[in-house]
Chains A and B, each alone.
Chain A
Amino acid sequence: MVTHENGGGHGHHQAPTGFIRKYVFSIDHKVIGIQYLCLALFSVFVGMALSALMRLHLGWPNAHWSIFKGGLMTPEQYLALMTMHGTIMVFMVLTTAPQSGFGNYFLPIQIGAADMAFPVLNMLSFWTTMVSLLVMIAAFFVAGGAPIGGWTSYPPLSALGEMAGPGQGAGETLWIIGLAIFCGASLMGALNFITTLIDLRAKGMTLGRLPLTCWTWFVTAILGLLAFGVLLAACILLLLDRVAGTSFFIPGGLVITDQVITWHKGGSPLLWQHLFWFFGHPEVYIAILPGMGVASHLLSTFSRKPVFGYRAMVGAICGIGFLGFCVWGHHMFISGMSPYSAFAFSILTMTIGVPSAIKTFNWLGTLWGGKITFNCAMLFALGFVSLFVSGGLSGLFLAQPALDLYLHDGYFVVAHFHLIMGVAAIFGMFAGLYFWFPKMFGRFLNEGIGKLHFWLTFIGVYAIFMPMHFLGLAGHPRRYFDTTAVEFLQKLQPVHVFISIAAFITIGAQLIFLFNFFYSLYAGKECKEENPWHATTLEWSIPTPPPFDNFAGVEPVVYHGPYEFSVPGAADDYIPQHLAPNLVKKA
């Protein structure tokens, strides 16, 4: 890995002039952050459109729609939609937007750096992510269509090629290649984030003065560095099984569509599950940790109170990150593992409840007695806390092997991971966007439209995912295409109709958001101040929008902790991190 750039130190940066260097192949972390956010915004609408089609089918399985050939969706199409919805949402939205998007833009500014440690590597990681997205999307357009194996792509079916289903041919190969490229991009990003945070903090920015957003981006980057390396190896092995004829994940004696597989033997599908979930579980925290950082940051700012238990929060972030690598087996309780292993994984999994509870109670402690402003950013941060609790509690059910035997591969699991990993993380992103939009674009998002967006989304996601818990408890398996063909599921059909209607209303609300985004970008209320929210961290000490080198070549000096709100004896109810002690006005 050769990197020949100057890095994010102060004073050796010159703004590029041409359009291509400025906006396309930019090495400015702010432009790259916005590029990542645009990629995620595009991906989230693609992923949402796919889910809309799935809900259309699940709500009214036998109705004819002219968008499908012959009026009806085929089971393979349904599985392809499900696979691509999961993959695009997990990798291109939940992994990129909170970390690579907001993190890229604000981590260097919040620690007082002029750029990331490796600006060229940063550009490379964005464009590699872009290639990965294009390769994955290409899977829709090859013979056989998109893969049908789900985002976990379990072998042996994912390893055997076309004979295992139409999308398992070229589409699956492209999917794996896309994922392997994504691993490379994420590794570059993770390495860059960690180096930047360790090396480029401004004078006085001790670890104890880092905003919690930076702590979460830092720990997320460490998780990415360790997890994506393993997924990369797993992808290479699966690709070898498919294109080179090896049998890493394929056991002997398989019969697929009446054909005995004689040319593969000796491998184990369980090996893939181990490798995949060793990545897959930390991936959950890669998606949610930055949201926790943003929530902590905003709850403090808009309650005008310091974060309750800052050190405990940092400990909880690190604890969640560490435990994330010890619990992959809870995805495999029904794989035939020894009950003793299941017991160990179960205890470790429930242990994650401890740091999660620390975080939750500290959020409530931060809010307690605060002067709370209910603007859109704060509403989404509060929504994050709500969804984190609702989604997290069902995790304690699934962590018990005895209960998981029943709930596994059912709608209860779908409800659980959508609430916590999907929607909570997205609420974290929305909170961050409403908060940072004025800094990034010099205009505010419209608060009125924003509140409409918030309430429709907040009620909408609960209306979608709460009933799914009960579908799961009633024994509804996930990934079923035709729910009317099974007798005991027929009575549950009205629930599917309700969920589908709720989903369409929620999707409609996101169009309201999209309108707000573009409307406010061009015609929103202008933000000329440096610090419209009276916040404390360094991004609010520089002009809006920030200049190319962030701090105009002058390295800032940090004198205060990140959340000094309502400090007794001070005139203002906030003390910015960069304010020299002799400049703090006394009451």
Chain B
Amino acid sequence: MHDVKTDAALDSAWSGGASPFAMGSKKLGMWLFIVSDTLTFSALLITYTYSRITNPDWPKPFPMNPAIIFSTTMTVVLLASSLTMVMAVMAAQRNDRKKTVLWMIATMAGGLTFMALHLREWFHLFEEGATITHNPWGTPLFGAVFFGVTGMHMTHVLIGVIYLGIVATGYGRGKFSAEDVEVNGLYWHFVDLVWMFVFPLVYLMSVKY
């Protein structure tokens, strides 16, 4: 009748009445979103790999100077924005609203700089005759994959900047909690992490030599 075993089980984190991970639902929700978005990006990167393997005329158009140096700079900027995001989260946990907002603005600046540099890179490629359907170097799929994957990533960066703007404003006015800033940070670090897969696959493996 009454299950004796379970009295001990009731003390465990999974026995109900509280979050087993001791975090807010929003944070768990963001982790789940990240899992799902990982699958979406995985599908895109598998598309890249699949297309590259099946096309012998896959081009390697990026010279060390300027393309790789330029994209490495972009990478450094984006990674630096992860650092400023960490600073923002730490400031939020100290309840330092002013510093939090400042660090978040710095993060947004990093994201926007990344996007500006990336768009410059895109327009440079347009000038060389590379578009989503054509390029002067080899299979047209190169452009499709390059602009498809980086475009999807840039969309995520743009959404991230807007998201940062909303949370920074709300947090500054006391509408959001420190955990909201942290959840925002999770998203931002995820977008950076995606880039750490995109950058070697799309740029470093396409170095002209």
B31-39, B80-88, B99-107, B197-205 - interface stretch: B31-39
- For window 80-135 of B, CB contacts with A under 8 Å fall at 132-133
Are B51 and A266 closer than 8 Å at their CB atoms?
A: yes
Contact of A246 among B28, B44, B132 (CB under 8 A): B132
Are A246 and B148 closer than 8 Å at their CB atoms?
A: yes
Q: How would residues 232 to 257 of chain A score, 1 for a CB under 8 Å from any chain B CB and 0 otherwise?
A: 11101100100011111000000000
Asked, given contacts A204-B10, A584-B1, whether A266 binds B33 with beta carbons under 8 Å apart, the answer is no
- Inter-chain CA distance A244–B144, complex, in Å, is 9
Who on chain B is nearest to A1 by CB?
Answer: B33
Return A12 CB to nearest CB of chain B, in Å: 13
Contacts of A399 in B (CB 8 A): none
Are A2 and B167 closer than 8 Å at their CB atoms?
A: yes
Are B3 and A229 closer than 8 Å at their CB atoms?
A: no
Who on chain A is nearest to B143 by CB?
Answer: A246
Are B16 and A202 closer than 8 Å at their CB atoms?
A: yes
- For window 123-165 of B, CB contacts with A under 8 Å fall at 132-133, 139-141, 143-145, 148, 152, 163
Contact of B50 among A117, A271, A560, A569 (CB under 8 A): A271
Are A203 and B16 closer than 8 Å at their CB atoms?
A: yes
Are A561 and B3 closer than 8 Å at their CB atoms?
A: yes
- Inter-chain CA distance A118–B21, complex, in Å, is 17
Are A570 and B1 closer than 8 Å at their CB atoms?
A: yes
- Inter-chain CA distance A117–B23, complex, in Å, is 13
Size bracket of the A interface: 35 or more
**Is B19 an interface position by the 8 A CB rule?**
yes
Contacts of B20 in A (CB 8 A): 198-199
Are B16 and A266 closer than 8 Å at their CB atoms?
A: no
Are B36 and A206 closer than 8 Å at their CB atoms?
A: no
Contact of A1 among B15, B29, B44 (CB under 8 A): B29
Who on chain A is nearest to B163 by CB?
Answer: A2
**Is A225 an interface position by the 8 A CB rule?**
yes
Who on chain B is nearest to A210 by CB?
Answer: B16
Contact of B14 among A206, A237, A247, A570 (CB under 8 A): A206
Asked, given contacts A195-B32, A206-B14, A267-B141, whether A581 binds B2 with beta carbons under 8 Å apart, the answer is yes
Q: How would residues 558 to 582 of chain A score, 1 for a CB under 8 Å from any chain B CB and 0 otherwise?
A: 1111001001111000010000010
**Is A532 an interface position by the 8 A CB rule?**
no
Are A3 and B16 closer than 8 Å at their CB atoms?
A: no
**Is A139 an interface position by the 8 A CB rule?**
no
- For window 199-245 of A, CB contacts with B under 8 Å fall at 199-209, 225-230, 232-234, 236-237, 240, 244-245
- Inter-chain CA distance A571–B162, complex, in Å, is 61
Q: How would residues 187 to 203 of chain B score, 1 for a CB under 8 Å from any chain A CB and 0 otherwise?
A: 10000000000000000
Are A1 and B187 closer than 8 Å at their CB atoms?
A: yes
**Is A265 an interface position by the 8 A CB rule?**
yes
Are B28 and A201 closer than 8 Å at their CB atoms?
A: no
Are B9 and A208 closer than 8 Å at their CB atoms?
A: yes
Return B179 CB to nearest CB of chain A, in Å: 12
Contact of B148 among A192, A204, A240, A570 (CB under 8 A): A240
Are A204 and B141 closer than 8 Å at their CB atoms?
A: no
Are B167 and A245 closer than 8 Å at their CB atoms?
A: no
Are B40 and A229 closer than 8 Å at their CB atoms?
A: yes
Return B39 CB to nearest CB of chain A, in Å: 4
Who on chain A is nearest to B184 by CB?
Answer: A2
**Is A555 an interface position by the 8 A CB rule?**
yes
- Inter-chain CA distance A202–B19, complex, in Å, is 10
Who on chain B is nearest to A7 by CB?
Answer: B25
- Inter-chain CA distance A209–B7, complex, in Å, is 12
**Is A112 an interface position by the 8 A CB rule?**
yes
- Inter-chain CA distance A531–B139, complex, in Å, is 67
Are A246 and B36 closer than 8 Å at their CB atoms?
A: no
Contact of A265 among B12, B41, B139 (CB under 8 A): B139
Return A89 CB to nearest CB of chain B, in Å: 25
- Inter-chain CA distance A227–B47, complex, in Å, is 16
Are B36 and A266 closer than 8 Å at their CB atoms?
A: no
Contact of A202 among B17, B30, B163 (CB under 8 A): B17
**Is A187 an interface position by the 8 A CB rule?**
yes
Asked, given contacts A2-B166, A560-B3, whether A555 binds B15 with beta carbons under 8 Å apart, the answer is no
Are B28 and A195 closer than 8 Å at their CB atoms?
A: yes
Contact of B133 among A204, A236, A245, A561 (CB under 8 A): A245
> Which residues in A have some Cβ–Cβ distance to B below 8 Å?
1-3, 7, 111-112, 117-118, 121, 187, 190-192, 194-195, 198-209, 225-230, 232-234, 236-237, 240, 244-248, 263, 265-268, 271, 274-275, 278, 555, 558-561, 564, 567-570, 575, 581, 584
Known: A112-B16, A198-B19; 5 extra A-B contacts, CB below 8 A, are A194-B32, A203-B10, A205-B15, A206-B14, A230-B43
> Which residues in B have some Cβ–Cβ distance to A below 8 Å?
1-3, 6, 9-10, 12, 14-17, 19-21, 25-26, 28-30, 32-33, 35-44, 46-47, 50-51, 54-55, 132-133, 139-141, 143-145, 148, 152, 163, 166-167, 187
6 A-B pairs in the complex with CB atoms less than 8 angstroms apart: A117-B25, A118-B29, A205-B15, A246-B144, A248-B51, A266-B55
